[in-house]
Chain A
Amino acid sequence: MQYETATTVEEAVALLTKGGADAFPLAGGTDLLAQMRVGRIKPARVIDLKKIPELREIVEAEGEYQIGAAVSGAELGEHAGLRARWPGVVEAMELIGSTQIQGRASLGGNLCNASPAADSVPALIAAGAVCSLVGPEGRREVAVEEIITGPGRTCLARDEIVAHLRLPRPKPGSGDAYLRLIPRSEMDIAVVGAGVALTLDPDGTCTACRVALGAVAPTPLAVPEAAAALVGRRLDEAALAELEAAARAAARPIDDMRGTIVYRVRVVGVLAKRAAIIAAQRAGQ
């Protein structure tokens, strides 16, 4: 195997194009190196993206955040501005793995690993995050909910990388939250996850909402029906019950060692509702 570094996105893309099917981009490496270790992948080349400034920076411009795809969870968590604006996105990323994993794991890597249970992805979808992708033909922008196409699969070409993720400027009165269920308090993979981002007007009426669910389908799911249950209404019991029912209706999980279909469908409604309540509390602050 050859280890190569790139200092610009264009150089990284050129190295990936040249390397073909056996070339893999390396961000934090917490998935890539673990998969290499167990022999699931055998790269001929690994292209380290961490020396590309765009991929390592968090840039704020007029309330909009641009987060480099290789920024680590620890760096994200230490960014006071981002924590204040998008606490749900930050808390989702911080749930991934241990302190050691947080030192390396990246938002872009969690997205491109394309796990149905990826913790950061429902929060990013709820936040309306957009990816800036770079490939041989240049840049394109793709919403996060369109990136993952199946377990371990993305819409990216082999020689395309995520350069950064963009979080829109939240309107006044906005808040977001992410909750996941695991049977212990740390170091586990989501049985179910739910992310909610919403905006409330001063009298408490919800004017905008996005809901996304994790680990209940082959990909993290955007659920506009659940969001529609809240828009135009105050978050009273009836509205929250409709959100819960819509989240349950959208879930199509599998039975596995982490949970049964019946259990996941039940819990995903509860988590969506609780995440909406936390997002609304944050919106009011």
Chain B
Amino acid sequence: MKRHITATIDGEAREFLCDEDQTLLDALRDVLLKTGTKEGCGTGDCGACSVTVDGRLVCACLVLAAEVEGARVETVEGIAQEGVLHPLQRRFLEQAALQCGVCTPGFLVAAKSLLEKNPDPSEKEVRFWLAGNLCRCTGYDKIIRSVLDAAADLRGESG
């Protein structure tokens, strides 16, 4: 039997039907067709499916869709506002902080969650916060630099 869920997804009130054993990741991709959120490992090790639920950063593959009844879910698809890229997205593009792109949505969501909590993180703090986001292309340096530069942009400290 399908379960009826009402939740706020990327700022929009949404209703959808899910299977009781369906993960939030599968419901986002297969039911709501929000395929911006990626599946990497499916077991919480890689962070590609990072989303926030009621403001808390989680792996969508380790949450049941049924658990988000009444919750506020934010994915990568809600980061750009009215077609304007977020400073994180702009820096990732400008500084080539991605290659294949599968890890990128997770990095963006996780980095945004860090900067909301800590607007001026050290490089070490960024590296530790993002330790659960795996990238096999970039070697991480470009990602870390983009996050630090976006943080400066958001603080209004960039030239």
Which A residues are within 8 Å of any B CB, using their own CB?
A: 1-3, 26, 28-30, 33-34, 36-38, 46, 48, 50, 72, 74, 97-101, 103-104, 185-187
Chain A residues whose C-beta falls within 8 Å of the C-beta of B130 in the assembled complex = 99
* Total A-B Cβ pairs within 8 A: 85
Judging by beta carbons under 8 Å apart, are A37 and B20 in contact?
no
B43 engages A98 (CB within 8 Å): no
A interface footprint on B1-44 (CB within 8 Å = 1, 0 otherwise): 00100000000000000001101000000000000000000111
Task: List B residues 86-140 near A (Cβ within 8 Å).
Answer: 110, 113-114, 128-133
Task: Check A100–B63 contact: CB distance below 8 A.
Answer: no
Q: Which of A28, A33, A72, A187 contacts B132 (CB 8 A)?
A: A187
Q: Decide if A48 touches B67 in the complex (CB within 8 Å).
A: yes
Distance to closest chain B CB from A56 (angstroms):
12
CB-CB under 8 A from B58, the residues of chain A are: 100, 103-104
10 further interface pairs, Cβ-Cβ under 8 Å (given A29-B62, A72-B56): A1-B21, A30-B62, A34-B44, A46-B64, A98-B131, A99-B114, A100-B44, A100-B59, A101-B132, A187-B131
Asked if B132 and A3 make an inter-chain contact with CB atoms under 8 angstroms apart, the answer reads no
Measured between beta carbons, the chain B residues less than 8 angstroms from A38 are 43
CA distance A97 to B45 in the complex (A): 8
Check if A1 sits within 8 Å of B110, measured CB to CB.
no
Which residues in B have their C-beta under 8 angstroms from that of A186? Answer: 128, 131-132
Interface of B is mostly: mixed
- Please report the C-alpha to C-alpha distance between residue A101 and residue B59 in the assembled complex, in whole angstroms: 7
B62 contacts A3, C-beta separation under 8 Å: no
A3 to B2: give the CA distance in the assembly, Å. 11
Q: Which residues of B contact A187 (CB under 8 A)?
A: 45, 131-132
Q: B129 touching A99 by the CB < 8 A rule?
A: yes
- Chain A hits for B47, CB < 8 A: 98, 100
- Is B50 at the interface (CB under 8 A from chain A)? yes
Contacts of B113 in A (CB 8 A): 99
Asked if A33 and B23 make an inter-chain contact with CB atoms under 8 angstroms apart, the answer reads yes
Inter-chain CA distance A34–B45, complex, in Å, is: 10
CB distance A100 to B57 under 8 Å?
Answer: yes
Task: Decide if B143 is an interface residue (CB 8 Å cutoff).
Answer: no
Q: Which residues of B contact A34 (CB under 8 A)?
A: 43-44, 62
Other-chain contact of A29, B42, B45, B63 (Cβ < 8 Å): B63
Most buried by A among B53, B66, B114: B66
10 contacts between A and B (CB under 8 A): A1-B21, A3-B20, A3-B64, A3-B66, A74-B56, A97-B44, A99-B57, A100-B110, A101-B132, A103-B58
Task: Give the docked Cα–Cα distance between A142 and B92 (Å).
Answer: 51
Q: With contacts A100-B58, A187-B131 known, is A37 near B67, CB below 8 A? A: no
With a cutoff of 8 Å between Cβ atoms, the chain A residues found around residue B53 in the complex are: 103
**Cβ–Cβ contact A101 & B44, under 8 A:** yes
Please indicate which of the listed interface residues A1, A3, A74 has the most CB atoms of chain B within 10 Å of its own CB.
A3
The answer to whether B79 has its CB under 8 Å from any CB of chain A is no
| Min distance, Cβ A78 to any Cβ of chain B, angstroms | 10
Q: How far is the CA of A187 from the CA of B131 in the complex (A)?
A: 7
Chain B residues with CB under 8 A of A103: 53, 56-58
The answer, yes or no, to whether B61 is at the interface (CB within 8 Å) is yes
Interface centre among A26, A28, A36, A99 (most CB of B within 10 A): A99
6 smallest CB-CB distances across A and B, nearest first, come from A98-B132, A186-B131, A1-B21, A3-B66, A103-B56, A103-B58
A74 CB contacts on chain B under 8 angstroms: 56
Q: Which residues of A contact B43 (CB under 8 A)?
A: 34, 37-38
